[in-house]
Amino acid sequence: MTPSFSIKVYKQYFNFASSHFMIFENGSREPLHGHNYRVQVKGEAPELADDMVFDFLNIKPIVREICDSLDHKLLIPKDNKFLKIYSEKKNYVIETPDESYFSVPMTDTLLLPILNTSAERIAVYICDQIRSLVWDKYKYAFTSLEVEVEETPGQAAVYLHREKL
């Protein structure tokens, strides 16, 4: 059996308050609402470097930076086939199939490269951001990276990314 090591980080400041609405497969949408999200991260490696999987001092600011970028934003899934999104002056205009029309300041909106703003898709986005920043800053890749996004206490989605060997 191959040994495996992991680190898990879940700091009090790994959180963000954001609003969103889901678009369902039939094109309907849920009402605009918000959550106080919390994030946990677990990274694995087959071997230790300097007796660590990855330095806690290096991963914590990365996760915090990503959480801070999502904080106090309206999260919009720019890859959703049902949404029409365009800019008008300093606002994003978002039109939905039910003919709802949102005009929101760009500074208050974050267009995410995801299909929907479910906790599952947000977990994928956060995982991709962590992987990218860890690689860019440290040239390091976890063998697997698990991201948990809790949207309310006791209700979370978990995404697990495994590197292809």
Element holding 45 (H helix, E strand): strand 33-45
User: Domain total for the chain?
Assistant: 1
Domain span including residue 68: 5-162
User: What is the tens place of the pLDDT at every residue in 72-112?
Assistant: 999 999 999 999 999 999 999 999 999 999 999 999 999 99
Q: Residue 120's domain is classified under what CATH number?
A: 3.30.479.10
Beta bridge partners of 40: 148
pLDDT at residue 165 above 80?
no
Closest CA to 121 of 15, 129, 63: 129
What does the pLDDT look like over 4-15, one tens digit per residue? 899 999 999 999
Q: How many Å is the Cα radius of gyration of the chain?
A: 17
pLDDT of residue 55: 93
Region of 127 (left: φ > 0; alpha: ψ -120 to 50; beta: rest) is: alpha
